[in-house]
């Protein structure tokens, strides 16, 4: 008889085992950042900076992600994620991995970084290392600069446990002795004002070295006794609590979104507690007392061997003038001169800028020239993150005062940038600009700028579309693309989108652009499907995509189907990735890598072979549920052959060859360093792009 084997059943692409957990993936990203602090090939102060970045990232992780998980557990809401883990299960695993990560942070600080810094004469003096001269100077410093702003709070029925400010430095003090009023609680809280610097440089003539520092917490601890005259201090321990930092604004139930966000900013300081950090020598009695006050469990307690806020050590980077211990300085290239007529230059050709290698100044120059140009009649812009003292916002204010029609869509809910955005919203309104706060239920995350200029008998639109924010500061630290063009069809699309966002109407089909929450997700699925059809027909097919995060289940399943069809899929995902590559029969043809380097990888670029036509897109959207369904995002095609080749090479190909800063995602969710490959993509781009000369008008 003929042997007829039964074909294996097709894998179930809904199987939770095929999806990695979002929170655990984010912790894995922070582990990769922390590994940079251990990398002895990096300059020493840069290693310290990576340590503090990891600490800051972890703060935000607790403020947002852990806080949300705790809410879900408390109220019994939410459903299991695609990976099958409940909120409670995820919270348990998060606690275990976060404790390991925190312990490793302090081990690296104490065993590796501080000894290495000391070898270079940079010392963080512990109390046992203070000379008499140092002790005397610090005593005077405490009495003149610190003591006047301290207000100890003894706990008794008239003085209950205070509301502790989010992430603030505090001390819990145990006392013995007779109080003047007969109070016998024996516990006091000392809050350290945020106005006080946490890292104090000891004068060179006192320390006999230019780079000796002392933590404010050590100074306070040493001089705590004078705060409690006649009492005996039996214990003094620093602590910090992290609170829920997410804003809870019910947009459908407020009359004025700006006022509602302003009110919530104050509440953020005192949201529900999610984490307690204490010095590792804090007694069990004291730490248990604090846990009870904050209504936290033992798994929320983090006992640390060092300052409770490692991010405060970031000040060392600026305070120590040692270029030999930092990345070499570089001059950003200026391929298009901001001193020349931006409109004339954009009339001739599109301009592509790759930040931070190439300066953001031409984008600012376009807006500044538009503010002064009498032929410019209208300016439209989205603002998500601007930072303080923003030249972009100042130029918009100048344009409004000059009588231009200025329309600005400001996202008031840009996390942790709300205060700056509120300030500029008010200033723009006072200057006469039309300010719109977005759409109820949707954040405006698209990066769009458009200038409308009268040229002869017609109006011409000049448009900027970016992958990053209109923030000159981050443009020096994040890798992003800026695309400036006067192409009519792109200009029309951007105007239609602004009209839709500021006015009313049905979604319109754009000439060129894809935008969420309407056309972007279905078109991405179609682009993947096209590659699947090509592969099934026996023709070459490939997908290459770079983004900050990949979490959306439908797209992940589509990529799995593409792999099964034989499509070669290469993904560069900086942070969270829920896709599991290399699973036999499911994702054999999918490779995922993450690049951690000097600059924060931030650009979003998507490539599809498209039967040899090579479709290339760039814009503001990650492949996450929030970006595709709950935000307004814009992605544009790069069609100019020369610029398309540049973006493909600079954003993707160099990164796929990186053998120095690349981490490869394994099927089990672990990341390992790439063992083979070319030099670091970021270094190659520094060498290639920063050597360019400023453009000149022919």
Q: For the chain, what is the mean pLDDT?
A: 91
Any catalytic annotation for residue 445? yes
- Please provide the size of the chain in residues: 698
Look up residue 624 and give its two tokens: 């996450």
Asked whether residue 20 carries a pLDDT value surpassing 50, the answer given is yes
Asked whether residue 311 carries a pLDDT value surpassing 70, the answer given is yes
Grade residue 265 by pLDDT with cuts at 50, 70 and 90.
Answer: very low
SS3 443: strand
The pLDDT value recorded for residue 196 is 95
Asked whether residue 358 carries a pLDDT value surpassing 50, the answer given is yes
The pLDDT value recorded for residue 475 is 92
Tens digit of each residue's pLDDT (9 = 90 or more) over 524-572: 999 999 999 999 999 999 999 999 999 999 999 999 999 999 999 999 9
19-325: CATH architecture: 2-Layer Sandwich (3.30)
Q: What's the 3-state SS for 186-208?
A: CEEEEECCCCCCCEEECCHHHHC
User: What separation in angstroms does the CA of 153 have from each of 159, 216, 217, 228, 292?
Assistant: 7, 19, 17, 10, 18
Catalytic residue among 237, 354, 355, 445, which?
Answer: 445
Select from 230, 140, 149, 250 the least CA-distant residue to 196. Answer: 149
Grade residue 422 by pLDDT with cuts at 50, 70 and 90.
Answer: confident
The pLDDT value recorded for residue 607 is 98
The pLDDT value recorded for residue 217 is 96
The pLDDT value recorded for residue 441 is 82
The pLDDT value recorded for residue 565 is 98
**Other Cβ atoms closer than 10 A to 205:** 10
Q: Which residue has the tokens 């992940």?
A: 556
Phi and psi (nearest 5°) for 223? -110, 30
The pLDDT value recorded for residue 418 is 65
Give dist(CA 239, CA 54) in Å, integer: 19
Tens digit of each residue's pLDDT (9 = 90 or more) over 316-350: 999 999 999 999 999 999 998 888 999 999 999 99
Task: Answer with the residue of higher pLDDT: 398 or 472.
Answer: 398
Select from 354, 248, 235, 357 the least CA-distant residue to 285. Answer: 235
Q: For the residues 232-252, what does the mean pLDDT come to? A: 80
Grade residue 691 by pLDDT with cuts at 50, 70 and 90.
Answer: low
CB of 224 closer than 8 Å to CB of 233:
yes
Tens digit of each residue's pLDDT (9 = 90 or more) over 37-54: 999 999 999 999 999 999
Give dist(CA 57, CA 51) in Å, integer: 10
Whole-number percent of the chain with pLDDT over 70? 91
The pLDDT value recorded for residue 426 is 85
Asked whether residue 462 carries a pLDDT value surpassing 80, the answer given is yes
Q: For the residues 291-314, what does the mean pLDDT come to? A: 96
515-689: CATH architecture: 2-Layer Sandwich (3.30)
Grade residue 5 by pLDDT with cuts at 50, 70 and 90.
Answer: low
Prediction pTM value: 0.92
Grade residue 269 by pLDDT with cuts at 50, 70 and 90.
Answer: low
The pLDDT value recorded for residue 160 is 87
The pLDDT value recorded for residue 78 is 65
Asked whether residue 65 carries a pLDDT value surpassing 50, the answer given is yes
Give dist(CA 418, CA 426) in Å, integer: 12
- In the CATH hierarchy, which fold is given to the domain comprising 342-509? Endonuclease; Chain A (3.30.870)
Whether 342-509 and 19-325 are alike in CATH topology: the answer is no
Tens digit of each residue's pLDDT (9 = 90 or more) over 630-646: 999 999 999 999 999 99
The pLDDT value recorded for residue 266 is 52
Asked whether residue 606 carries a pLDDT value surpassing 80, the answer given is yes
Give dist(CA 467, CA 631) in Å, integer: 15
Give dist(CA 21, CA 576) in Å, integer: 9
Listed by start position, the domains of the chain span 19-325, 342-509, 515-689
Asked whether residue 158 carries a pLDDT value surpassing 80, the answer given is no
């Amino acid at each position: 008889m003929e042997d007829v084997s039964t074909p294996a059943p097709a894998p179930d692409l809904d199987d939770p085992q095929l999806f990695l957990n979002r929170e655990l993936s984010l912790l894995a990203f922070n582990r990769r950042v922390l590994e940079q602090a251990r990398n002895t090939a990096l300059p020493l102060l840069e290693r310290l900076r990576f340590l503090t970045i990891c600490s800051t990232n972890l703060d935000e992780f607790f403020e947002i992600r852990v806080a949300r998980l705790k809410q879900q557990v408390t109220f019994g809401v939410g459903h299991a994620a695609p990976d099958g883990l409940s909120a409670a299960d995820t919270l348990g695993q998060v606690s275990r991995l976060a404790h390991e990560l925190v312990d490793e942070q302090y081990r690296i600080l104490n065993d590796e970084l501080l000894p290495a810094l000391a070898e270079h004469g940079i010392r963080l003096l512990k109390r046992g290392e203070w000379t008499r001269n140092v002790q005397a100077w610090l005593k005077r410093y405490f009495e003149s600069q610190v003591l006047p702003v301290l207000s100890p709070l003894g706990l008794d029925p008239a003085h209950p446990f205070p509301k502790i400010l989010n992430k603030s430095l505090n001390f819990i003090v145990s006392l013995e002795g007779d109080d003047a009023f007969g109070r016998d609680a024996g516990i006091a809280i000392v809050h350290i004002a945020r106005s006080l610097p946490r890292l104090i440089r000891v004068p060179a003539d006192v320390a006999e070295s230019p780079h000796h520092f002392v933590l404010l917490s050590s100074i306070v601890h040493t001089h705590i006794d004078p705060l409690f005259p006649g009492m005996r201090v039996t214990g003094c321990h620093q602590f910090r609590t992290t609170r829920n930092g997410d804003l809870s604004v019910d947009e459908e139930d407020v009359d004025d979104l700006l006022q509602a966000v302003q009110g919530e900013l104050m509440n953020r300081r005192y949201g529900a507690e999610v984490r307690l950090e204490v010095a590792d020598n804090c007694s069990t009695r004291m730490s248990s007392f604090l846990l009870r006050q904050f209504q936290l469990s033992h798994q929320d307690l983090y006992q640390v061997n060092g300052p409770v806020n490692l991010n405060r050590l970031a000040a060392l980077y600026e305070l120590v003038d040692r270029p030999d211990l930092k990345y070499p300085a570089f001059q950003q290239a200026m391929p298009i001169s901001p001193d020349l007529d931006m409109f004339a230059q954009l009339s001739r050709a599109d301009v592509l800028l790759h930040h931070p290698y190439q300066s953001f100044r031409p984008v600012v120059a376009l807006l500044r020239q538009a503010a002064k140009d009498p032929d410019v009649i209208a300016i439209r812009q989205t603002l998500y993150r601007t930072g303080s003292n923003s030249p972009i916002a100042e130029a918009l204010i100048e344009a409004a005062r000059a009588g231009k029609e200025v329309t600005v869509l400001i996202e008031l809910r840009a996390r942790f940038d709300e205060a700056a955005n509120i300030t500029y919203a008010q200033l723009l309104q006072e200057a006469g600009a039309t300010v719109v706060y977005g759409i109820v239920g949707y954040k405006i995350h698209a990066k769009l700028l458009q200038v409308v200029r009268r040229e002869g008998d017609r109006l011409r639109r000049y448009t900027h579309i970016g992958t990053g924010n209109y923030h000159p500061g981050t443009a020096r630290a994040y890798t992003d693309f800026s695309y400036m063009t006067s192409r009519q069809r792109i200009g029309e699309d951007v105007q239609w989108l602004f009209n839709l966002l500021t006015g009313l109407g049905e979604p319109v089909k754009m000439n060129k652009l894809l935008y969420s929450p309407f056309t972007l997700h279905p078109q991405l699925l179609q682009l993947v499907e096209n590659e699947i059809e090509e592969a099934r027909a026996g023709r070459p097919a490939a997908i290459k995509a770079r983004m900050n995060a990949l979490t959306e289940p439908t797209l992940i399943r589509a990529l799995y189907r593409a792999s099964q069809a034989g499509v070669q899929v290469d993904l560069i995902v900086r942070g969270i990735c829920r896709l599991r590559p290399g699973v036999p029969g499911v994702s054999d043809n999918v490779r995922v890598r993450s690049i951690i380097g000097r600059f924060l990888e931030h650009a979003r670029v998507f490539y599809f072979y498209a039967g040899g036509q090579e479709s290339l897109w760039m814009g503001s959207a990650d492949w996450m549920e929030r970006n595709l369904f709950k935000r307004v995002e814009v992605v544009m095609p790069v069609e100019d052959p020369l610029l398309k080749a540049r973006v493909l090479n600079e954003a993707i190909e160099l990164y796929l060859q990186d053998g120095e800063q690349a981490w490869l995602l394994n099927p089990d969710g672990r990341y390992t360093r790439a063992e083979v490959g070319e030099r670091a993509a970021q270094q190659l781009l520094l060498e290639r792009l920063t050597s360019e000369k400023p453009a000149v008008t022919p």
